[in-house]
Structure 1
Amino acid sequence: MYETYYNLSAKPFRLTPDPSFLFVSAVHKRALAYLRYGLTQGEGFVVITGHVGAGKTTLLKVLLAELGDDVVAAEMVATPMAAKEVIERIGAALGITYEGLHRAAVLQRVEVFLKDRIEEGLRVVLLIDEAQNLTTEALEELRMLTNQQHRGKPYFQVFLVGQNEFRHTLQRADMEQFRQRVIASYHLSPMDAEETEGYVMHRLKRVGWRGDPEFTRDAFAEVHRYAGGIPRRINTLCDRLMLFGFLEERHVIDSEAVRVVSDELLEELRAQGLETVQEDQPEAIASDVAVSSEGVAGQFAALGLAIERMLNQGHREAALEDRVEELEARLSELEARLMKLGPGTVADVPRPSTNDSDLAFDDDHGIEGFDDLPGPDDDPYHGTDR
């Protein structure tokens, strides 16, 4: 539709991950370096985390495209699964048939497959997306499998790509053994304003854009403010901006156009009962509470914000509902404590707004407790149990 109007060869802001549109921001460049470094080590786990829509899956696809003929790659999108299901999912990813077989027989088939690849001089890499869905038991099963070797070589190497809550899972005390098997870890933070502008221009030029429509500087600033530097959010907004420009016969996209379109998107999200575009997934709840103001009043406001954000996202999974109930209980306790401080105390605490545009992103790279993990220039065995 608007592609013809603006003489473009294709839609520049598709939501489907496409390595050919990869924009290498500073954080994406570093994440790729960690992925490539991990690949050279041939063992253990490589972990990449980031916000929803941060570009994690695209990076995986780039890595896949770079693999040599000596690497057998198996892709898997994680879902909540019991430990006993892990080997079956790995078998399916490797193309191994196991219908009607019990777990021991499936494991035997997988082991034979992996040993045969080693005998052929090949290595196997398992790429797991949406790793935040893996249970602790499933992760432990993966760890045990990666400990297995044949002729001194590990059965396979695992790349885990997941949302922010996966970082919190790995920070738990009972995950110490798993952390020792991680050879590289990186967290994708959002792009800054300058990178957001570069990202938009990069995608436009990929489809033959020649200045029509023109994006003003204040339009780029507004896009960054609305989308928060998250690629998928930028794509959603800019795709609608291009459609808006076509319908309104505009050849200049300015800040006013961005505000009009962003308001329309926000109204649509509210009508669907979803969070505003500045949402974070439940993985950010811990940081919401931690980034509180001083004392009980600050905790009260932060917890309220966390609850509102979770409810507005419309998730219905039992685990999330339990988390909401837990936060509500803590909020009630804090409110009771505030009431004891005197009249007006609770009323003075600001309530969270669904229009909050100042929700903070965690810009820390890597996983807490992983400060000594090796990077591309470090000893890969430093701090491990090998």
Structure 2
Amino acid sequence: MNARNSHLVALGLVRNPFPYTPDAGCYFSTPHLDEQLVELQHCVLSRKGFSLLTAEVGMGKSTLVRRLMTDLTAKNVVSALVFNTFLQGPELLAAVLQDFGLKATGTLSSDISALNTFLLANHREGKTCLLIIDDAQNLSASSLELIRLLCNLETDQEKLLQILLAGQPELEEMLSQHSLRQLRSRLVKHSRLYGLTSTEIADYVRFRFESSGSDGSLVLQTDACQLLLRETQGVPRQIHLIMDRCLYGLAARNGNVIDSNLMKEAINDSRVNLVGAPTADAVGVVPPARARQPWLVAAAFAGLVATGAALGSRFGGVDAGRGQDHGAVAEAIALAAPSPGPELASAPQATVPAPVAQTVAAVSDASGGAATPDAPVMAPQGLFGTGCEPATEQPAGRIVVSQPLAERTHQLLGARLARLADVCMDTRQGQPWLTWSTPQAGHDLNKRLTAARFQIALTEYGSLLPREVDGLWGERSRRALQQFQNELGLSPSGEVDPLSGLLLEKFYVQEQ
């Protein structure tokens, strides 16, 4: 074990119990996960055809998929896994063929014929062929139509190709569209993953400790476990992030008990605010402006340098061949910070269009402090009063916007919007309306970090390629946003209006 993990050695661990990458080799089972895994295996081995797996970000979809593939390998199943869902149509089919060891011809009809021949040959040998597409929420409608065509490859009695689409809840909304009802009708199993319960979190942490060499001396106290549940909602990725911080604290204190005080510090330190506004203090933690704990200084500095290097590389500030150029890293970090220069102060900002904002409540800072124009939409307590009327006190620098939802927008996203804690949906004369909080000054796309944030969201939606994220909001970004707006029933302006900003931030800005 290298010096970077010396704190793990001090705790008697031989590996990191809470890595940031999927760890299918150290799999923790719950009754719910076991049930979903068994049922998905049954659908594949019974050759029933088309199955679906959905869960929120960080819930363990990819880990479950890899566990499924591992278990099925011993059961005469030939699997192909496609995770680059930015490939669409013929390119997606070519990736499927390649993962099955076939060569694509570039022609849709001949490629499907080659795949059918391959499937028939394996069927004669008693083998089952499984195609898994991960992050399937990025697939376009035409690619989902291709999936429907592949579902039709069958014998008189059985499906030749078993297909599992795994993705975020947006995938459910896509498949609920009327135009995809033929594909939806072929669905035989839908598995949903949910967050761990308090008891499962305690068992999970103990399991991860023991599988990493602990002798049982490391303890997570019950009150600390409750704080972890409240902060993470049982999402494994977030549990790993916070528990990893706790390990540094234990090593620095030469302790072995994770109590509520240590957990609060770890939770507070793990919160990431991309635009500099403090996050809600949901569990009574000291605000982020406090001094960092000494045991987290090294980790925080390493994370800052890594973030700076990534931003510099993305925006052209750091040459890939200059990994140790500290000046370039500093320049990249400076790029991510708000600049007080006159060129930024005078840059035009997007404002709330008058026709869109049917009800607008201006928000002022009682202390006279400056507003933060690009603060993320949070869940402030008391944002709404009776019904969807704005409450008297509102967060500084923000306004409350209310507007009707187009039929298509409501059909695709209405159910998920209604579940959000910091928006309000009601019906007025038979028309659904949405009310939410948005930055008073709009989203300033002249800021490269703000522009990059929305560009990354558009790559998650699938209308922009990852290599096109550069922090410069130009014609290419506007076209990608217009596609997003048009497909969701919004006005295709190509600019981040309040509703487009809300939808992008809530459903397509990915947690890291």
Normalised by the length of structure 1, the TM-score is 0.73
CA distance in 2, matches of 1:118, 1:295: 53
The alpha-carbon distance between structure 1 residues 178 and 102, as it changes in their structure 2 partners (threshold 3 A), is: closer
**What displacement does 1:255 show?**
1.3
> Bigger relative contact order, structure 1 or 2, given CA contacts below 8 A and separation 6+?
1
**What displacement does 1:275 show?**
6.7
Q: Partner letter of residue 88 of structure 2? A: A
Out of 201, 205, 209, the residue aligned to residue 200 of structure 1 is 205
The alpha-carbon distance between structure 1 residues 294 and 51, as it changes in their structure 2 partners (threshold 3 A), is: closer
Q: Within 5 Å, give how 1:345-384 maps onto structure 2.
A: none
Q: Provide Cα deviations, 1:269-289, integer angstroms capped at 9, x if missing partner.
A: 5557897999xxxx9885234
Establish whether residue 63 from structure 1 lines up as the match of residue 202 from structure 2: no
CA distance in 2, matches of 1:158, 1:3: 41
What is the SS of the residue equivalent to 1:97? coil
What is the aligned partner in structure 2 of residue 314 from structure 1?
A: 453
What is the aligned partner in structure 2 of residue 186 from structure 1?
A: 191
CA distance in 1, matches of 2:85, 2:273: 29
**What displacement does 1:155 show?**
2.5
Q: Provide Cα deviations, 1:7-61, integer angstroms capped at 9, x if missing partner.
A: 1121111122222322222432232132122123213211110011111111112
What is the aligned partner in structure 2 of residue 351 from structure 1?
A: none
CA distance in 1, matches of 2:228, 2:413: 22
Q: Partner letter of residue 226 of structure 2? A: A
Establish whether residue 139 from structure 1 lines up as the match of residue 144 from structure 2: yes
Contact 2:26 2:211 in 1 (8 A): yes
CA distance in 2, matches of 1:324, 1:218: 45
Contact 1:2 1:246 in 2 (8 A): yes
The alpha-carbon distance between structure 1 residues 48 and 294, as it changes in their structure 2 partners (threshold 3 A), is: closer
Establish whether residue 31 from structure 1 lines up as the match of residue 23 from structure 2: no
The alpha-carbon distance between structure 1 residues 324 and 212, as it changes in their structure 2 partners (threshold 3 A), is: farther
Task: Please identify, of 56-65 and 100-109, the stretch whose mean Cα deviation from structure 2 is larger.
Answer: 100-109
Q: Within 5 Å, give how 1:264-343 maps onto structure 2.
A: 264-267=269-272, 286-289=415-418, 293=424, 295=426, 300-302=434-436, 304=438, 314-316=453-455, 317-318=457-458, 319=463, 321=481, 326=490
**What displacement does 1:181 show?**
0.8
Q: Partner letter of residue 314 of structure 1? A: R
Q: Provide Cα deviations, 1:150-182, integer angstroms capped at 9, x if missing partner.
A: 465433110111111111111112221111111
The alpha-carbon distance between structure 1 residues 304 and 13, as it changes in their structure 2 partners (threshold 3 A), is: same
Contact 1:275 1:312 in 2 (8 A): no
Q: Partner letter of residue 453 of structure 2? A: G
Task: Please identify, of 252-261 and 149-158, the stretch whose mean Cα deviation from structure 2 is larger.
Answer: 149-158
Judging by fraction of residues, say which structure has more helix. 1
Contact 2:220 2:257 in 1 (8 A): yes
Identity %: 23
What is the aligned partner in structure 1 of residue 383 from structure 2?
A: none
Q: Gapped runs of 5+ residues in structure 2?
A: 1-5, 277-306, 308-335, 337-374, 380-411, 444-449, 464-479, 506-512
The alpha-carbon distance between structure 1 residues 195 and 17, as it changes in their structure 2 partners (threshold 3 A), is: same
Contact 1:233 1:277 in 2 (8 A): no
What is the aligned partner in structure 2 of residue 87 from structure 1?
A: 93
Contact 1:164 1:284 in 2 (8 A): no
Number of matched residues? 327
Normalised by the length of structure 2, the TM-score is 0.56
Q: Within 5 Å, give how 1:119-268 maps onto structure 2.
A: 119-150=124-155, 152-267=157-272
Task: Please identify, of 149-158 and 10-19, the stretch whose mean Cα deviation from structure 2 is larger.
Answer: 149-158
The alpha-carbon distance between structure 1 residues 231 and 315, as it changes in their structure 2 partners (threshold 3 A), is: farther
Task: Please identify, of 175-184 and 268-277, the stretch whose mean Cα deviation from structure 2 is larger.
Answer: 268-277
